[in-house]
Amino acid sequence: MRSREGRSYESRKGVVALVGVVTLLTAGCTSSGSPSGSGSSSSGASSAKQMRIAYVTSGLDGWIQANVDALKRGAQTSAVTMFNANYDPAKLTGQLQSIAASKQYDAVAVVPFTGLSVPAIKTVIDSGAKVATVLVPAITPATNQLVPGAVIATGEPYERTGRSIGTLTVQACKKLNPCNVALIIGSKTIPADQTFTTGFQAAIKGSDNIKLVASGEGKFDPQAARSTAQNILQAHGDLNVLVTEADNMTGGAELAVRDAGKAGSIALIGHGASVQGCAAVKSGTWFGTTVSLPQTNGEIAGKALRDAVFNGAKPANPTPDPVGDFPGGQTITQQNVDKCPAQWSQ
């Protein structure tokens, strides 16, 4: 990872290319391939039985890469095939339905579109595959509720995440009146992002000095967030705080702030406690970020799927909350940046 001084968001697209690898189910037996519409995959030899896992995601970025790698460690398998819906709920539904019909996979990990993906997830469960939902709660973004029949849910309650970022915003605005704030989320059409916004607005509601003057979408992509931030800055030259729903979008917004000659005069806040985000908070370039734990999340989900597939076991806690148990809470500023977990890279 590059340091703050050397990192270049311009050369990053915020999308990590992931290549699923399908290995032998047992020594001497090969997989028959992926369902129609899947990502590319290949077969490899295995000296011991490996789980075949389909990882179905609403989008790809550094958080997902870290989660997939950790899930492989927890499940003790390299036989993971990636499916990317590219933020299209209908496409993700079709992918899950194809996976269920194919019966090629022992387990499925899915980053769902909250609510919209539940019927298709149930189809996968009914097909006999073990299911884990990760990152985004499947039923309601306010709580990490387990889909009936699923093994485990390791999502983050998005209303709480929004409130945590709202709390940081209140802190950044403490000495300003008025304090003009702009918010960039991933997509206004994604249920979890809508709930994130609700939590954020609830956190800042009691602060009369805070004025939410602009909002926009960044598609969890640095360049898209940079463009949105540029438009916001052109319309609001008196902006004090710029907040985004993900560190990689804050990285793009930071470039827009620099382009506008306002570096150091606008407080930047992100979400995810990425390698770059933690470094930026430590240096003072960003005011703060909030914790997300893709590696912890992935290892817990992978182990639970493995235990379910091979032992028929159920986890003692089917809805764990690694972020909620993080020492010191979810918000990271210079006061506690030494505890910043940095479990993923943009």
pLDDT at 10 (0 to 100): 37
Least confident segment among 38-47, 185-194, 223-232: 38-47
> Is residue 166 within 8 Å of 172, Cβ to Cβ?
no
- 2 pLDDT higher than 50: no
User: 47 burial class (0-12, 13-18, 19+ CB within 10 angstroms)?
Assistant: exposed
Q: What span, in angstroms and rounded, lies between the C-alpha atoms of 338 and 346?
A: 19
Q: Which pLDDT band holds residue 11 (cuts at 50, 70, 90)? A: very low
Q: Which residue has the tokens 């299911």?
A: 131
Q: To the nearest whole number, what is the mean pLDDT of the chain?
A: 87
Residues 104, 105, 107: CA angle, nearest 5 degrees: 165
pLDDT at 26 (0 to 100): 32
What is the mean pLDDT of the segment spanning 138-150? 92
> Is residue 195 within 8 Å of 162, Cβ to Cβ?
yes
pLDDT at 326 (0 to 100): 84
- Sequential DSSP letters for 117-135: THHHHHHHHHTT-EEEEEE
What percent of the chain has pLDDT above 70? 86
> Is residue 323 within 8 Å of 165, Cβ to Cβ?
no
Tell me the pLDDT tens digit for each residue of 273-302: 999 999 999 999 999 999 999 999 999 999
Q: Which pLDDT band holds residue 329 (cuts at 50, 70, 90)? A: confident
146: left (phi over 0), alpha (psi -120 to 50) or beta: beta
pLDDT at 48 (0 to 100): 52
End-to-end CA distance of the chain: give it in Å, rounded: 9
- 248 pLDDT higher than 90: yes
Q: Which residue has the tokens 């989900």?
A: 301
What is the mean pLDDT of the segment spanning 243-255? 97
What is the mean pLDDT of the segment spanning 62-67? 96
pLDDT at 6 (0 to 100): 35
Q: What span, in angstroms and rounded, lies between the C-alpha atoms of 184 and 300?
A: 30
pLDDT at 252 (0 to 100): 98
Tell me the pLDDT tens digit for each residue of 98-130: 999 999 999 999 999 999 999 999 999 999 999
What is the mean pLDDT of the segment spanning 72-91? 96
> Which alpha helices (H) appear in the chain, and where do they start and end?
62-75, 89-102, 118-126, 158-172, 191-204, 222-235, 247-259, 275-283, 294-311
Least confident segment among 42-56, 164-178, 191-205, 230-244: 42-56
184 membership: H or E segment, kind and range: strand 179-185
Q: Which residues, 6 or more positions from 195, have their beta carbon under 8 angstroms from its beta carbon?
A: 114, 141, 142, 158, 159, 162
> Is residue 173 within 8 Å of 200, Cβ to Cβ?
no
pLDDT at 334 (0 to 100): 96
Tell me the pLDDT tens digit for each residue of 304-324: 999 999 999 999 999 999 898
Q: What span, in angstroms and rounded, lies between the C-alpha atoms of 128 and 325?
A: 32
pLDDT at 45 (0 to 100): 31
